[in-house]
Amino acid sequence: MAPSPVTSGNRRGYLMPIGGAEEKGSNPRILSRFLEICGGEQARIMIIPTASQLPETGPMYADLFLDLGAERALFTEIRERKDCDDELLLEEMDNATGIFVTGGNQLRISGILGGTPVAQRLRRRSAEGVPIAGTSAGAAMMSQHMIAGGASGLSPKEDGVNLAPGLGLTNTAIIDQHFSQRDRLGRLLTALSYNPFLIGVGIDEDTAFLIDADNCGEVVGSGAVTILDASELSQSSRSSAESGTALSLVDMRLHVLTEGGRYNMETRQASI
């Protein structure tokens, strides 16, 4: 599933994948930055808590955005695919100046939203210039090829990652979250071994990668973003590896960026 095309006169909206566990108390800088790009005091935020099975998730984020000064913050309970046909929900998405997708299980997002009017509206609103943020599972679902699970550890392995279709807000990057905290370098490397065209983006907790219309990302938050660039990969053992064995990947580039660091996904250049 690819991003919707941008129509004449528009620029694609920001994407803000967040690594999870973003600060919500004394210094909620990631949520504040998202609110700022959505219009500040005029922001109307739609919250989609489908990934979570906790009933308090939607109301909690609505209260957080209202406390930060949003004009409006609504959450919608999408628990079944039939809920995605609700015309009032789709109308609220059309009126939103920002859409926030919560954490939980990314397979709930793809399984419940995939192929529905809500997923189509998410891609269309992004193409129309509306910022979309997602934390944890909500970050993973942005990729066309979504990481759904996999083993912890530093080394890539033949069976080290489970992939599933995401919602396709980006077809340039494959995103992983809770990256350093859950030791996920190996599974992101494994994902890239399937398709070296993609850029691997591993995002730590309380950290976001704010991607603009020119496909340039900026790090926001207290942790780091790890960028894996396989575009110059010269050798890989992927095609010959036996089940469960480690993979060899030669000429993989790696960047580690902290707050303010930038990475241009078109030119594949990093800067701090």
Residues in CB range of 246: below 8 A, 6 or more apart: 155, 156, 157, 158
pLDDT at residue number 167: 97
The answer, yes or no, to whether residue 2 has pLDDT greater than 80, is no
Residues in CB range of 186: below 8 A, 6 or more apart: 150, 151, 152, 153, 154, 155, 156, 157, 160
User: Does 264 fall in a domain?
Assistant: yes
Catalytic residue among 4, 52, 110, 136: 136
pLDDT at residue number 226: 98
145 classed as catalytic: no
C-alpha pair distances (Å), 155 with each of 19, 192, 193, 199, 246? 21, 13, 12, 18, 7
User: Does 231 fall in a domain?
Assistant: yes
The answer, yes or no, to whether residue 1 has pLDDT greater than 70, is no
Catalytic residue among 22, 110, 143, 205: 205
Average pLDDT score over the chain: 97
pLDDT at residue number 9: 85
Work out the number of other CB atoms within 10 angstroms of the CB of residue 244. Answer: 10
Average pLDDT of the segment spanning 8-32: 96
180 classed as catalytic: no
User: Does 154 fall in a domain?
Assistant: yes
User: Does 203 fall in a domain?
Assistant: yes
User: Does 40 fall in a domain?
Assistant: yes
pLDDT at residue number 175: 98
Gap between the Cα atoms of 182 and 168, Å rounded: 24
User: Does 151 fall in a domain?
Assistant: yes
What is the domain count for the chain? 1
The answer, yes or no, to whether residue 16 has pLDDT greater than 80, is yes
Domain extent for 225: 15-271
Instruction: Please write the tens of the pLDDT for every residue from 49-73.
Output: 999 999 999 999 999 999 999 999 9
The answer, yes or no, to whether residue 8 has pLDDT greater than 90, is no
Average pLDDT of the segment spanning 228-250: 96
User: Does 9 fall in a domain?
Assistant: no
What is the percentage of the chain residues whose pLDDT exceeds 90?
97
Instruction: Please write the tens of the pLDDT for every residue from 63-116.
Output: 999 999 999 999 998 999 999 999 999 999 999 999 999 999 999 999 999 999
Question: For residue 240, what is the domain's CATH number?
Answer: 3.40.50.880
Instruction: Please write the tens of the pLDDT for every residue from 134-168.
Output: 999 999 999 999 999 999 999 999 999 999 999 99
> Would the CA dihedral through 208, 138, 183, 173 be positive or negative?
negative
Instruction: Please write the tens of the pLDDT for every residue from 176-208.
Output: 999 999 999 999 999 999 999 999 999 999 999
pLDDT at residue number 7: 79
Catalytic residue among 178, 193, 218, 236: 178
Model pTM score: 0.98
User: Does 30 fall in a domain?
Assistant: yes
C-alpha pair distances (Å), 134 with each of 86, 100, 169? 22, 6, 11
Query: Of 201, 221, 208, 205, which is closest to residue 268 (Cα–Cα)?
Result: 201
